[in-house]
Amino acid sequence: MLKGKQSWVFENRPVIAAAGVSGGPFEANGNLAEDFDVLHDDLWMGEDSYEKAHRVLLEEAGQTALNKANIQKEDVQFYIAGDLINQITPSSLSARTIQIPYFGIFGACSTSMEGLALASFIVNYRGADYVLTGASSHNAAVEKQFRYPTEYGGQKPPTAQWTVTGAGAALVTSKPSGQNLPFTTSATIGKVIDMGLTDPFNMGGAMAPAAADTITAHFKDMQLDPSHYDLIVTGDLGRIGQETAYELLTNNGLKIDRERFKDCGLMIYKDDQPVQSGGSGAGCSAAVLYGHLLNQLKQGTYRRILVVATGALLSPLTFQQSESIPCIAHAVSIEMT
Amino acid sequence: MSKKANKTPEQQQYEQLEQKHELKRPVMKNCIRAFWVGGLICVVGQAITYFYIYRFDFTEQTAGNPTVATMIFLSMLLTGFGVYDRLGQFAGAGSAVPVTGFGNAVISAAIEHRTEGFVLGVGGNMFKLAGAVILFGVFSAFVVALIKTLLIMWGVI
């Protein structure tokens, strides 16, 4: 049901029946390694290209989610996935493997929540019994496309972020098999915000206004106070973007407890890992939410969370043609009974 | 500067707000690191030059080519073993400006696009980063040589 200007309320409580998370070697050394289902000690993952390894990550995450829920892929009606690679080929090729009717979506690093919002909407209105949704990124494949070759010795500024090698997938359903599973309650779809920043090595700074806009819109539409949530977590704003977004939200009159405002890009790695301002990539919010945060919800650390995945909708071409960086953010609220 | 003029007042206001939180490049630290690492690479190059002069039949004028080739070979090994990009993150311009940095730019692109095949992958992308350096390097050398030739013809120098 539409509520306010740009939010959906899911009154039928679509349940996240199960989720799967896969990651690479850098994530295995990270802060949340125990929350991953599959961890690779090699970036190639037994494939002969990084793009193929990228596809494998998503396939493993999806398959793990299905296995955990004990659901056959034939019983899943739709598959919604996206990533950062040109024409989202890793997602589409994983859809070729899994053979579930497929929506390919692109929202850059906000893809995870775009997918979860759409999956919840479809399930909420009985458009499907089961929808599998996921997002993924692979450090080497994404860097290759957006930046320099992996082995190129260019110095990254402290504002840069590290693309996460990881994937997260979740099975959303109207027919939960067990009790005490997390469910989605609402989603807010963001609009594209461009504050004129042009530095592709400072995505957090560019994306912060989009995050602030979507969060503000969410609370306005839902007529809630920020204290409603135990945790408001952004996707991959990193150090700079998160500080900036917090100030913007404060300026917008939202009083959020600083301790309850976190960022997936700052949670996934250890402080001593050389990631500059934090993690990023479509797999960042997907892996942290579907792994760590769902586990925390199930353990009772949090009861209600709002996940706001942020995406920078640029391409190397638009950057070279001196376009500024357009950004977007989508929010989904997840609760436990 | 025209870019700035095109920004709306909100965008300019946001830019100021964002600047407060932005982490600045540690310019002084970067300069010192670049100085030492760049200098060290040059010392290695000098040692190799002496090696060619004293162990082989090279003179100070002719030792340049084998020295450059050796340095690029070393850079290739370091790039292939995944060391050079880490050195680059530490040293910045110190490892980018010497010829080893140029070698790294070519070799890293060649490694990166190996998965697209030898012709369209390696061949087509090897000079993706270094191509601009070659183009403008050769062109500016041509312009400088032209000026020098004209000045000699006119008897100025």
Bridge partner residues of A2 (DSSP) = A8
* CB neighbourhood size of A198 (10 A): 13
Which chain A residues contact residue B93 at CB under 8 A? 155
Instruction: Tell me the three state secondary structure of residue A112.
Output: helix
In terms of Cα–Cα distance, which of A179, A212, A181, A207 is closest to A195? Answer: A207
Question: Are A155 and B96 inside 8 Å of each other by CB?
Answer: yes
Domain A183-335 belongs in CATH node 3.40.47.40:
yes
In terms of Cα–Cα distance, which of A311, A43, A69, A84 is closest to A203? Answer: A311
- CATH domain A12-173 topology: Peroxisomal Thiolase; Chain A, domain 1 (3.40.47)
Which chain A residues contact residue B23 at CB under 8 A? 157-159, 239-240, 277
CA distance B70 to A227: 64
Using CB atoms, which residue from B22, B80, B113 is nearest to A202?
Answer: B22
Q: B116 in a domain, yes or no?
A: yes
User: Is the pLDDT confidence value at A335 over 90?
Assistant: yes
Which chain B residues contact residue A263 at CB under 8 A? none
| Average pLDDT of every residue of chain A | 95
Q: Is beta strand A304-312 parallel, antiparallel or unpaired with respect to A231-234? A: parallel
Q: B113 in a domain, yes or no?
A: yes
Question: Confidence class of residue A176 from pLDDT cuts 50, 70 and 90?
Answer: confident
A186, A40 Cβ separation under 8 angstroms: no
Matching CATH topology for A12-173 and A183-335?
Answer: yes
Rounded to 10°, the helix B27-55/B64-80 angle is 130
User: Is the pLDDT confidence value at A337 over 90?
Assistant: no
Tens of pLDDT along chain B (157 residues) come to: 445 557 889 999 999 999 999 988 999 999 999 999 999 999 999 999 999 999 999 999 999 999 999 999 999 999 999 999 999 999 999 999 999 999 999 999 999 999 999 999 999 999 999 999 999 999 999 999 999 999 999 998 8
Mean pLDDT, residues A299-312 taken together = 96
Look at chain B and report how many structural domains it folds into.
1
CA distance A164 to A20: 16
Question: Are A153 and B79 inside 8 Å of each other by CB?
Answer: yes
Predicted local distance difference test score (pLDDT) of residue B2: 46
Which residues of chain A approach chain B closer than 8 Å at the C-beta? 48-51, 144, 148-159, 195-198, 202, 205, 208-209, 239-240, 243-244, 247-248, 274, 277, 322
Tokens for A215?
């969060």
Q: Is beta strand A261-263 parallel, antiparallel or unpaired with respect to A304-312? A: unpaired
Predicted local distance difference test score (pLDDT) of residue A180: 86
| Buried b / exposed e along A251-289 (16+ C-beta atoms within 10 A) | eeebebeeebbbbbbbbbbeeebebbbbbbbbbbbbbbb
Domain extent at residue B51: 28-126
| Buried b / exposed e along B58-73 (16+ C-beta atoms within 10 A) | beeeebeeebbebbbe
Instruction: Compute the residue count for chain A.
Output: 337
* CB neighbourhood size of A98 (10 A): 18
Identify the helix (H) or strand (E) that includes residue A115.
Answer: helix A111-124
Q: DSSP secondary structure string, B50-108?
A: HHHHHHSS--TTTSHHHHHHHHHHHHHHHHHTT-HHHHHHHHTHHHHSSHHHHHHHHHH
Predicted local distance difference test score (pLDDT) of residue A77: 97
The backbone region for B102, taken as left when phi is positive above 0, alpha when psi lies in -120 to 50, beta otherwise, is alpha
CA distance A143 to A136: 14
Q: Is beta strand A102-104 parallel, antiparallel or unpaired with respect to A78-82? A: parallel
Question: Are A151 and B115 inside 8 Å of each other by CB?
Answer: no
Question: Are A159 and B23 inside 8 Å of each other by CB?
Answer: yes
Q: What are phi and psi of A141, to 5 degrees?
A: -70, -40
**Which residues have CB under 8 Å from B5's CB, separation 6+?**
none
Domain ranges of chain A: 12-173, 183-335
ipTM: 0.87
Using CB atoms, which residue from B18, B80, B88 is nearest to A244?
Answer: B18
Q: B45 in a domain, yes or no?
A: yes
Question: Are B18 and A144 inside 8 Å of each other by CB?
Answer: no
Which chain B residues contact residue A157 at CB under 8 A? 23, 25
- The amino acid occupying position A96 is R
pLDDT tens, position by position, A66-91 = 999 999 999 999 999 999 999 999 99
Q: Is beta strand A38-39 parallel, antiparallel or unpaired with respect to A15-23? A: parallel
pTM attached to this predicted model: 0.94
Question: Are A152 and B26 inside 8 Å of each other by CB?
Answer: no
| Interface A:B, Cβ pairs < 8 A | 102
A239, A278 Cβ separation under 8 angstroms: yes
Please tell me if residue B101 touches chain A, with a CB cutoff of 8 Å.
Answer: yes
Predicted local distance difference test score (pLDDT) of residue B23: 87
Going through A45-164 in order, the beta strands assigned E by DSSP cover 78-82, 102-104, 130-137, 162-163
Q: B110 in a domain, yes or no?
A: yes
* CB neighbourhood size of A99 (10 A): 11
Which chain A residues contact residue B8 at CB under 8 A? 196
Residue A144's closest chain B neighbor by CA? B112
